Amino acid sequence: MAFDIYNLIRLAEVKNYLRENKKFTVLEQETIIRSSYYPIEEKLKYLKQLLKETDNVDPHLQERVELYEYIVNFIHYPREDAIYMVVLGISGYDVDFKDNNYELSEQLMGDTHYFKSYERLMEYCSEDNIKWRAGDKICVDIVLSAELGRRYEKGELVQPIWFNLSLMDGKMRIYHFEIDDKWFLKQGWSKECLYHYNTWDTSFRSTLPFETGNRVRLQTPAMKKALMGIVESSKDFYGSWYNFLWCEDENYGAEDIRKLIENRSYGEIQKQKIKMLDISFPQLDVLGEYLTYDWIERAEGD
């Protein structure tokens, strides 16, 4: 069966609309795969299918897929000196890389756990006394323990990969990771490979099945409460789409925002600090953890 990028999109209305109105390039398809909410092992499978079916349309795609596979394998089977450092309760933290003072950073981070293998990490995630909920996220750093204890030059890092685990189909799975370019350069990966890997096309715009004035609902797995708001959609002279979501709050409901948009009362919108999200691009957030097409849908009754 031929690989169909549209089948990766979760919401039926958006999927069917894009299938009829948007033909994605190879690079755009790669962006959708890497930003989609699937375990990284499945993303690797989809990337390999894309590589096989596009047959060198993008000359750099093969090395990007090889790098992605290397990262997935390293997460599962790292060097013997690797430690998985798990941070619970907060998202992100600061580490003094110059002094490599993990004791200090641990005091700042709170609930931190260390594991010597991926298997032990996953056993911990599966323990009966831990009740994970949809949207829970675990931040994990792979730290190379043999490098602990020495001082580092400015800009050096000891954490080659860090990733997020989230509850998927009843299990904690990895859906997103980031890498340290400098460490990968030391392992023999070329600057060109890393450049092309990191400059994937996240800037393309596409139309959505919503018109100006439509009320929509936006909720990612990390959001405890959905955002409700009104879409404003337009296309410029060059054919580029601009889609904005003006969010409802306790002072401005759907009809209030519709009137402001209809009357082009942008001064009032700015004055009242009504929250706006740019939903023109494939990635919903700057970290690339969520795909816009997966989490925004028409509100019931609209």
Percent share of the chain, pLDDT over 90: 44
- Kindly indicate the confidence band of residue 295, based on its pLDDT and cuts at 50, 70 and 90: very high
Token digits of residue 162: 């860090």
Confidence of residue 288 (pLDDT cuts 50, 70, 90): low
pLDDT band, very low/low/confident/very high, at 98 (cuts 50, 70, 90): very low
Contact 86, 139 (CB under 8 A): yes
Per residue in 37-69, pLDDT (tens digit) is: 999 999 999 999 999 998 777 888 999 999 999
Q: For residue 271, what pLDDT is reported?
A: 75
**Residue 86 CB contacts under 8 Å (≥ 6 apart), including other chains:** 112, 113, 114, 115, 121, 124, 138, 139, 140
Q: What is the DSSP string of 238-268?
A: TS-EEEEEEEP-SS--HHHHHHHHHTT-HHH
pLDDT at 136: 75
**Residue 159 binned pLDDT confidence (cut-offs 50, 70, 90):** confident
pLDDT band (50, 70, 90) for residue 229: very high
Please give the distance of CA 173 from its chain centroid, rounded to a whole number: 14
Rounded to 5 degrees, φ, ψ at 59 are -65, -15
Confidence of residue 161 (pLDDT cuts 50, 70, 90): very high
CA distance 285 to 44: 21
The amino acid that residue 246 corresponds to is W
Return the pLDDT at 248: 92
Cβ neighbours of residue 151 closer than 8 Å, sequence gap 6 or more: 98, 99, 100
More confident residue, 53 or 92: 53
CA atoms of 81 and 85, how far apart (whole Å): 13
Q: Check whether 29 has a pLDDT greater than 90.
A: yes
Residue 30 has pLDDT above 80, yes or no: yes
Across the beta sheet with 111-115, what order do the strands follow? 111-115, 82-88, 137-144, 161-168, 171-179
pLDDT in tens, 162-214: 998 888 878 889 999 999 998 899 899 999 999 988 887 777 888 899 999 99
Cβ atoms of 42 and 8 within 8 Å: the answer is no
In total, the chain counts a number of residues equal to: 302
Instruction: Indicate the range of 3-12, 106-115, 155-164, 242-251 predicted with least confidence.
Output: 106-115
Q: How confident is the model at residue 147 (pLDDT cuts 50, 70, 90)?
A: low
Residue 50, phi then psi, degrees to nearest 5: -60, -45
Residue type present at position 258? R
pLDDT in tens, 232-280: 999 888 888 899 999 998 888 999 999 988 888 777 777 778 888 899 9
The partner residues of 141 in beta bridges, in order of sequence, read 85, 162
